[in-house]
């Protein structure tokens, strides 16, 4: 009896720890045209560290994780909901690994409507070509 109870508790723990950022119901068309396989963007706003925090990753096994936090605009999404919002924004971006750092940062700041007073802006992108780049402002 103790073993059954132990297994039940262990199962409940494992299920409870499931990755909330993992996208469950992704449409392949939603992610196939992105310029990148990984996108990590952070910005501090009004003294709040990482008030804007965007994470997207499409792994080799096609597992997709997404997170979209924008405290100034009361946005806090993960998984499917985050991917839905991010897809619209990502599909509007038109830079690539050959674009200047200023062009990339400007496009991302505009796309996410980042306030002018944002600080410590950090962006890390892995493009579909495999090129990894870091941008800071």
Task: Give this prediction's pTM.
Answer: 0.79
The answer, yes or no, to whether residue 5 has pLDDT greater than 70, is no
Residues 36-58: pLDDT tens digits?
999 999 999 998 999 999 999 99
- Beta-carbon neighbour count of residue 112 at 10 Å? 18
Residues 54-104: pLDDT tens digits?
999 998 888 899 999 999 999 999 999 999 999 999 999 999 999 999 999
User: Is residue 104 within 8 Å of 123, Cβ to Cβ?
Assistant: yes
Q: Please state, in angstroms and rounded to a whole number, the distance separating the CA atoms of residues 93 and 107.
A: 7
Q: Please state, in angstroms and rounded to a whole number, the distance separating the CA atoms of residues 47 and 38.
A: 27
What percent of the chain is predicted at pLDDT more than 70?
Answer: 76
């Amino acid at each position: 009896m103790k073993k059954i109870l132990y297994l039940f508790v262990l199962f409940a723990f494992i299920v409870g720890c499931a990755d909330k950022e993992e996208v469950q119901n992704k449409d392949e068309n939603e992610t196939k045209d992105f310029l990148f396989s990984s996108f990590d963007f952070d910005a501090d706003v009004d003294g709040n560290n990482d008030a804007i925090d965007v994470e997207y990753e499409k792994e080799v096994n096609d597992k997709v994780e997404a997170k979209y936090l924008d405290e100034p605009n009361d946005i806090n999404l993960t998984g499917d909901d985050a991917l839905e919002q991010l897809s619209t924004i990502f599909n509007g971006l038109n830079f690539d690994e050959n674009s200047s750092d200023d062009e990339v940062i400007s496009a991302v700041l505009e796309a996410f409507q980042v306030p002018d007073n944002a600080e410590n802006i950090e962006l890390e992108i892995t493009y579909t070509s495999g090129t990894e780049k870091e941008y800071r402002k």
